[in-house]
Each structure stands twice: as structure tokens, then as C-alpha cells.
Amino acid sequence: MPTAAHAANGISDGVVKIGVLTDLSGVSSDNAGKGSIVAAQMAIDDFSKDHKILGAPIVLISADSQGKTDIGASVAREWFDRQNVDMITDLTFSNVALAVDRIADEKHKLALVTGAGSSAISNEQCTAHSIQWMYDTYALANSTAGALMKKNLKTWYFITADYAFGHALEKDASEIVVRDGGRVLGSVHHPVNSPDQSSYLLQAQSSGAQVIALANSGTDTLNTVKQAAQFNMIQQGKQVFTPLLSLITEIHGMGLKNAQGMMLTNGFYWDRDDRSRAFGQRFFAIHHRMPTMMQAAVYSAVLNYLKAIQATGTDDSDAVVAQLKSAEINDDVIRHGHIRADGKLVHDMYLVQVKTPEESKGEWDLYKVVETVPGDQAFAPLSGSKCALVTH
């Protein structure tokens, strides 16, 4: 039972409970997974040494969605209805995130999406109780495709994971390529978690496209690049490989010999400045890997969620969302960000190039930042949004 003090402080049931619904067993378990749980706990520790807010305890729970819509939705309903979870974060896969967003909206709870990238989450399928925290498919495609088009790489072929995220990434990138005067020569779709990418690579090779764009993620991206190297497709240099979503764990797994020179877009890189380095090193001390942008985003989302409760004196979801949308998001992960009416966190993105083995000074020294892309240039303009929350 909540105490009178808790109720007076606006904490609805005497506890602020946060759920990390992640991928603990699938293609993105290294990108999110246990590292996301570590990041959430770090945020709670940094916010309050005694793990309390307004006198109420902060509780963290976690579960594996297995990347399946029905499992993710079932966990979310159980958490909201029976376990009094106030906010769910991570939501690694777009299909899971879209389902949980709708449930959170129905229950007047919050979903802070840090792992899923489909631009629909904060566009045509936006909700009043969801925020897309770190990146979306448009921002990734816009920055990376734009950089390659400037190098006169005009013909593209896509190897795409056959689910919501992959389709969204291919769609967004294709539109940007065509907009900038390029051509899409074709695409091939593969099931998620496909260990054998050989037939898809051969189709991409035979297309003759200058750019082979990978609209997949996690171990699928890792396997595609490793197998391309086995076929000497990378060493020949006739076609440029660009993973449109590739996190530091995958580049680490590919090895610099295979990944060197690739252009990528990220929302966070641990070695960018002193604040990101300090955060990265604290995370590494616990998790023994540097944080991906998804894991870093969990830290930022949880920390700012707690700050918003503190500022408003309540865990009421509508009040918390209003506070988040009115505040500048500025922490060790996100700098000078703001949350728009559509629930998209807009902030600087970073165009990076993978270092050569000779350039790297250590195991996780993998990128050089080529360009900082201002948020209002990286993300799709609000004027074109199809989100029902946006008034044009």
C-alpha cells in the first residue's frame, strides 16, 4: 500500500517502476540486451544513491521480448496491468515497439523507445505516450546516403531484413537516394537471424550497383559483412558496402580489416569527447564492452524520465511527457536535444568512418567522426510529419 507521503508526492502507487524490454537472446542481444539493463541501472544510480525519488523507491525489472510482437505485447500488458510498471524502455525491435506503444497509450503509461528505429514510431504511428529517443531510419539513411551520394556513388542495391525496421530503412534510404539523383537497382529481403547470407550477396553483386546497402542489424549485419569478405567482395573494392544501422559491437565483431573505410551514422560514440569518454569508461568497467548508441540511449531516457518526475512532483504520464517535451535533453549521451510534438527526440547525429587497423590505437578505438550533422538536418522536418499530434 502506498504511504500518505508517497501519495502526497504524486507517486501513484508508492513505487516508480521501470521495465527494460530488450533482446536477450536474438540478433540484437549485443546491441541492447544485458547492456541496456546495465545502462538503466547506471541512470538510476546516478540519479539517486539511495534509489529513491520523492521518497518512493525506484525499481528496475527486465525481460526478453525475443523480437516477437506477441511476446512483447504480452509482457507489456502483464507489466502495466499486474506489476504496476510506469515506463517501458529499450524495445529493441520495431514490431515490438509499435505494439507496446499502442498498449502504453491505451493504459496511459509511457514507452521510451531507445532501440527500435522505424520512423513510423514517431511519424504516422505516433502516440501521445511514446518518445523515440535516439535515432530513426530516416536520420540514419539521410546522413549516410547523403555522404555517399556526394562521393558520386549513385546506384544502390539493398540487402534488407524482412521486418518492420528493415523495410522502413530501405524505404527511407531509397527515397533519399532518388531525391538526390541516384537510382535503386533492386533489393533482396531475408528473414531475421539468417546465418547464411551468400545467396543475397551474390544477387547484390550481380546487380552491379556501386553501393550495397545493408538494411538489417545485429548479427545479420555482422554475418553479411563477414561473408562478403570471404567472397572477396570487400577486398576487390568494386562495390561499397554500407551498413545503414551498424553499432560498435558489430564493427568490433567484423574486425577493422573487413570494416575499414565504411561510412556509418550514429547518435552516440564513446570516444567523441570527455563526457562521452567518461560515460563509456564507467559502462565498460561494468559490462566489459563499450556502449552502443542503443545502450547509451537507455541511460539517457531513464535519467531524464526520473528528472521529469522530480521536476513535476508526480509520475503521472501526461505530466511527465509534457515536462520532457518542454526541457532540454542534455546529459553524457545526448547534447542539446529537444523532443518535438511528434515524440521524436531531435539531436546531433555523427557521420563516422571506420578506422583502418593502422589508425586504431586500441580495441574499441574504431571510428573517426567525419561530420556532426545538426539534428534539424539529420531528422525529417516536422512540417512533413503524418503524426496526428502535429498541427500543421
Q: How many CB atoms lie within 10 A of CB 182?
A: 21
Question: Using a CB cutoff of 8 Å and minimum separation of 24, what contacts does 373-378 make?
Answer: 373/143, 373/265, 373/348, 373/349, 374/348, 375/337, 375/346, 375/347, 375/348, 375/349, 376/346, 377/142, 378/139, 378/142, 378/143, 378/265, 378/346, 378/348, 378/349
Amino acid at 3: T
CA proximity to 338, closest of 325, 348, 349, 350: 325
The pLDDT assigned to 392 comes to 66
The pLDDT assigned to 237 comes to 76
Its pTM surpasses 0.85: yes
Q: How far apart are CA 285 and CA 118, in angstroms?
A: 32
Mean pLDDT per 10-residue run, the chain (392 residues)?
49 96 95 98 98 97 97 98 98 96 98 96 97 96 92 96 92 94 97 93 96 93 93 85 93 93 95 97 98 98 98 97 97 96 97 96 97 95 95 76
Pairing of strands 338-339, 87-90: unpaired
The pLDDT assigned to 9 comes to 64
Residue matched to cell numbers 511514446: 130
CA proximity to 209, closest of 187, 178, 192, 227: 187
Q: How far apart are CA 62 and CA 387, in angstroms?
A: 30
Report domain extents, the chain: 4-135+272-347, 138-266+350-378
Assign domain 138-266+350-378 one CATH number from 3.10.129.10, 3.30.930.10, 3.40.50.2300, 3.30.70.1450. Answer: 3.40.50.2300
The pLDDT assigned to 220 comes to 93
CA distances from 180 to 146, 215, 310 (A): 8, 19, 46
Q: Do domains 4-135+272-347 and 138-266+350-378 have the same CATH topology?
A: yes
Q: Are 319 and 70 in contact (CB under 8 A)?
A: no
Tell me the CATH architecture of domain 4-135+272-347.
3-Layer(aba) Sandwich (3.40)
The CA-CA-CA angle for residues 203, 190, 66, to 5°, reads 160
